[in-house]
Amino acid sequence: MTGLYRLIRLGLLTICLLPAPVLAASVLQHPTIEHHQLTLELRPDSHQLVATDRVTVAGGVPGQELAFSLAPTLLLERVEDLTHCQDPCEVVPSVPFARDRSSSQAESQRILLKQPPSTRAGGSVRLKFVYHGVIDDPPRDPRHLRFVTPSETAGHIGPEGVYLSSESQWYPDLDDSLATYDVRITLPEGWAAVTQGTAQVDSSRWIVSTKSEALTVVANRFVVKTRAWKAQSGQAVQLATYLFPDDAALAEEYLDASARYLDAYIPLLGAYPFSQFAVVENFFSSGLGMPSFTLLGSGVIKRHYTQPYALGHEIVHSWIGNGVFNRVSQGNWVEGLTTYLSNYYYHELTGDEAQAREQRRLMLLGYSMYVRPGEGYPLRSFAQKSDEKDNAIGYQKSAMVFHALRQEVGDAAFWRALKRIPERYLGTVADWSDLERTFQEEAGRDLRWFFAQWVERAGVPELALSGLRLQSASGASGHANLVEATVHIAQGDDPYRAPVELEFVLSGGRTQRVRVQVSAAQQDVVVPLAEPPAAVRLDPNYHLFRRVARSEMAPMLNLYVTDAPRTVVLAQPSSGPPGPIGDILQRIAAQEAAKADAVRTTVLQPGAGKQPLPPGSLLLLGDPRENPLAAEAWRSCGDHVRFLDSGFSVAGKTYEGAGMALLVSCRRSDQPGSVVTLLYGVTPQALGRMGRLLFFYGWQSYVVFQEGAVVARGDWEDRMSTEVRIETR
Query: Are residues 706 and 657 in contact, defined by beta-carbon separation less than 8 angstroms?
Result: yes
| Environment class of 728 (CB within 10 Å of its CB; exposed 0-12, middle 13-18, buried 19+) | exposed
Mean pLDDT of 450-466: 95
Query: Are residues 61 and 118 in contact, defined by beta-carbon separation less than 8 angstroms?
Result: no
pLDDT higher than threshold 90 for residue 141: no
CATH classification for the domain delimited by 328-454, as one of 3.30.70.20, 1.10.287.540, 3.30.830.10, 1.10.390.10: 1.10.390.10
Q: Which CATH class is domain 557-714?
A: alpha beta
Residues 109-139 pLDDT 10s: 888 888 888 766 557 899 999 999 999 999 8
Confidence of residue 673 (pLDDT cuts 50, 70, 90): confident
Does CATH number 3.40.50.720 belong to domain 20-221?
Answer: no
Residue 12, CA distances (Å) to 44, 67, 88, 174, 217 in order? 30, 6, 28, 9, 24
Lowest mean pLDDT among 167-181, 198-212, 295-309: 198-212
Which amino acids are annotated as binding site, given as ranges?
Answer: 313, 317, 335
CA–CA distance, 670 with 242 (Å, rounded to integer): 55
Q: Name the pTM for this structure.
A: 0.86
| Between 314 and 583, the higher pLDDT residue | 314
Confidence of residue 390 (pLDDT cuts 50, 70, 90): very high
Residues 237-262 pLDDT 10s: 999 999 999 999 999 999 999 999 99
Per-residue pLDDT, 144: 44
Mean pLDDT of 166-194: 94
Mean pLDDT of 305-322: 95
pLDDT higher than threshold 80 for residue 366: yes
In this structure, the number of other CB atoms found within 10 A of the CB of residue 690 comes to 22
Per-residue pLDDT, 102: 40
DSSP 494: S
CA–CA distance, 468 with 387 (Å, rounded to integer): 41
Q: What percent of the chain has pLDDT over 70?
A: 87
Mean pLDDT of 356-363: 95
pLDDT higher than threshold 60 for residue 316: yes
Mean pLDDT of 360-372: 94
Residues 8-49 pLDDT 10s: 222 222 223 223 333 333 344 689 999 999 999 999 999 999
Residues 512-557 pLDDT 10s: 999 999 999 999 999 999 899 999 999 999 999 999 999 889 999 9
CA angle (159, 162, 163) in 5-degree steps: 150
What's the residue count for the chain? 729
Mean pLDDT of 200-209: 87
Query: Are residues 95 and 163 in contact, defined by beta-carbon separation less than 8 angstroms?
Result: no
Per-residue pLDDT, 620: 92
Per-residue pLDDT, 584: 79
| Mean pLDDT rounded to a whole number for the chain | 86
Which amino acids are annotated as binding site for Zn(2+), given as ranges?
Answer: 313, 317, 335
